[in-house]
Amino acid sequence: MRRFVLIAVPYLWLLALFLVPFAIVFKISLSDIALAIPPYTPTLKDGLGALLAGLDFENFVFLTQDDLYWKAYVSSLQIAFISTLVTLLVGYPMAYAMARAPEEWRATLMMLVILPFWTSFLIRVYAWVGILSTEGFLNQLLLWLGVINEPLTILNTNWAVYIGIVYTYLPFMILPIYAAIERLDESLIEAAEDLGCSRLQAFWLVTIPLSRNGIVAGCFLVFIPALGEFVIPSLLGGSGTLMIGKVLFEEFFSNRDWPVASAVAVILLLILIIPIILFQRNEQRQQEAEQ
Amino acid sequence: MTKTMLSTVAALAVTATSAMSEEVRVYNWSDYIDESLLQQFEEETGIDLIYDVFDSNEVLETKMLAGSSGYDVVVPSGTFLQRQISAGAFQKLDKSQLPNLDNMWDVISDRVGKYDPGNEYAINYMWGTTGIGVNIDKVKEVLGEDAPVDSLALVFDPANMEKLQSCGVHFLDAPVELIPAALNYIGEDPDAQDAETIEKAEPVLSAVAPYVQKFHSSEYINALANGDICVAVGWSGDILQARDRAAEADNGVNIEYYAPKEGALMWFDNMAIPVDAPNPEGAHKFLNFIMDAQNMAAASNYVYYANGNKASQEFLVEDVIGDTAIYPDAETLENLYTTSPYDARTQRTVTRMWTKVKSGT
């Protein structure tokens, strides 16, 4: 019985916070747009029979007929992928330095990484508007240093979106990698060096593989929210920044088309969930093979 | 443990007392009121006023159509008001609770009647035009002394926009305003409802979109005032607010507003009470408070928008009532056009075109 309760808790969690909302969104994605409150038909008020009869996959077919959606998915994947890569390249050395810092410093360094979370995410993104704008802090600094003669246009371009995403999600990359490296037994590296590895080789052959779990966790934590990101591209991005989060917003707010917006969201979820399930399965198989 | 319990009890007690005092929740456009009026309302009525802001009709409409927004007073523009009325989002006004209705200006009430026949659901708050805000010195520097600042050609002629790109141009992120303007520029009916005519706006907008730094409906106020951009297609009062902010900052930025000579969109923002408003009685009190001649004048004097309140006009400062950019003269008034709401299918065409214009796909 106790075991059953223990297992039931995570499943209830999954059911309440994932499956039920998903079922609601999926149901809306099968309905039709209407001028009413709520703006789709049929609803539960129409009775179960009418509800089931009124549902169809029309909205999903519609998504295939306009290349906007396809392009937005691809462009989001690209932006999320590049941002994740840059975050990893920036975050890994930081996590490594933190984990290798003298023990009494670590708590402070950790604090410094977490500190930005004490300010609202929205305000921090807005701060970048001030930093990156044509008359902004960065341009003033570069002009003053004589690095550039003309102010750079960074705000309202994809560059700003990348900067925003990397900045925002960097802690999510650092923390799991830091945890992985800190746990790493330093004698393993000494052993590798004793056996003739250079420091670089030891890093490459021992530290990186042993921090793999941290890297994977960090990449997921950055990639998944970056893919559906809306706030950063809409505040920092330009009109040419095509991301699925913005398309979803347009469907929902400008077109008032909740059914199509829901269909877009369902597909976004599938894009995320299928690779994650495949990855999990692969990991499990590897673990079993090792055992 | 006891401590947590105590604080929970305390929190509950606070919630209980605040639930007992009456409150009115208002959802209005950003930068759209003199905030001392809000305090004044609280002092006069003893009602707690919760005041939130938005910057696009679409956001408001989504809240209305989702239902249970929790707001008692909202401020949709004409076409949105009409559509939300037909979706059943608003309740009829109880005019017996609104003695200040006598102050309203019949000219404006009649025009709003196009969207709300008989003015049964809404009162006009402010109205204005959609036109062009210009940083006059920078634009003349780029385009020369005879820059066509009073014409749509300034923003719809690619040759001008290519040059203006260097000092920065913002457009409203509002297809229902920019598409009629583009249609008007090429001599089509700005209120066209058929997809074929509407699509003629696309090449006009697409030709200049690459030179637009941003499509956004509120950032341009500060961007113009700071000198970050030199041209904005925006709402009259917002641009006049930018003019004032620049003057206050004394930063050498001179902003002017022009209603294009080809004609400009005239719009109306109206206060209505959602059908499921928690406190309709308080909402009526707020509406009546706003329709008070002096209060309405204070709001207009602060935000530089014309209002639909005849009685308020004697309290308006000369800067407002005497400025033809705010209260247009008869000739300009004739040159203004209004639009009607699009049906769902046309709306999709319009939004899709707008995405295409903005992103190139």
Q: For residue B20, what pLDDT is reported?
A: 55
Could you state, in chain order, the average pLDDT of each consecutive group of 10 residues for chain B (361 residues)? 45 47 93 94 95 92 92 95 94 96 94 95 96 96 94 96 94 94 96 94 95 89 93 94 93 93 94 96 97 96 94 95 90 88 86 86 71
pLDDT digits (tens, 9 = 90+) for B182-195: 999 999 999 999 99
Choose the closest CB to A133 out of B67, B215, B228: B228
- SS3 of B96, please? helix
Chain A residues 87-116 within an 8 A CB cutoff of chain B: none
Checking if the pLDDT of A2 tops 90, the result is no
Is residue A7, in this structure, part of any structural domain at all?
no
Contact B265, B154 (CB under 8 A): no
Region A252-260: what's the mean pLDDT? Answer: 87
According to CATH, the topology of domain B129-266+339-359 is D-Maltodextrin-Binding Protein; domain 2 (3.40.190)
List chain B domain ranges: 22-127+268-327, 129-266+339-359
- Quote the CATH superfamily of domain B22-127+268-327: Periplasmic binding protein-like II (3.40.190.10)
Residues of B whose CB is below 8 A from A66: 352
Closest by CA to B142, choosing from B153, B132, B133, B154, is: B154
Residues of A whose CB is below 8 A from B88: 36-37
Contact B79, B339 (CB under 8 A): yes
Residues of A whose CB is below 8 A from B89: 37
Domain count, chain A: 1
For A74, the token pair is 């691809």
- SS3 of B6, please? helix
Confidence grade of residue A168 (pLDDT, cut at 50, 70, 90)? very high
Chain A residues 195-254 within an 8 A CB cutoff of chain B: 238-242, 247, 250, 252-254
Contact B119, B305 (CB under 8 A): no
> Tokens 């730094």 map to which residue?
B213
CB proximity list for B361: less than 8 A, separation 6 or greater: A67, A68, A71, A242, B355
Tell me the residue range of the domain where A116 lies. 66-256
Is residue A153, in this structure, part of any structural domain at all?
yes
Chain B, nearest residue to A69 by Cα:
B361
Is residue A184, in this structure, part of any structural domain at all?
yes
Chain A, nearest residue to B211 by Cα:
A239
Helix segments in chain B, DSSP class H: 2-20, 36-45, 57-66, 78-86, 106-112, 136-143, 153-156, 158-164, 175-185, 195-198, 201-208, 219-226, 236-249, 280-291, 293-303, 318-321, 330-334, 344-359
Percent residues over pLDDT 70 in chain A:
100
Contact B31, B303 (CB under 8 A): yes
Is residue A273, in this structure, part of any structural domain at all?
no
- SS3 of B49, please? strand
Q: For residue B216, what pLDDT is reported?
A: 87
- ipTM exceeding cut-off 0.85 for this assembly: no
pTM of the model: 0.79
> Tokens 């790493």 map to which residue?
A184
pLDDT digits (tens, 9 = 90+) for A42-80: 887 787 887 888 888 989 998 999 888 999 999 999 999
B65 touches chain A (CB under 8 A): yes
> DSSP E strands: which ranges in chain A?
32-33, 40-41
Probe site for chain B from A28, A37, A139 (most B CB atoms < 10 A): A37
Percent residues over pLDDT 90 in chain A:
57
Report the CATH number that the domain containing residue A117 is assigned in CATH.
Answer: 1.10.3720.10
Pairwise CA distance, residues B267 & A215, whole Å: 54
Is residue A247, in this structure, part of any structural domain at all?
yes
Q: How far is residue B120 from each of residues A78, A132, A231, B57, B110, measured CA to CA in Å?
A: 51, 48, 38, 20, 12
pLDDT digits (tens, 9 = 90+) for A90-133: 999 999 999 999 999 999 999 999 999 899 999 999 999 999 98
Q: For residue B336, what pLDDT is reported?
A: 92
Q: For residue B12, what pLDDT is reported?
A: 46
Residues of A whose CB is below 8 A from B358: 239-240
Is residue A113, in this structure, part of any structural domain at all?
yes
Pairwise CA distance, residues A262 & B77, whole Å: 27
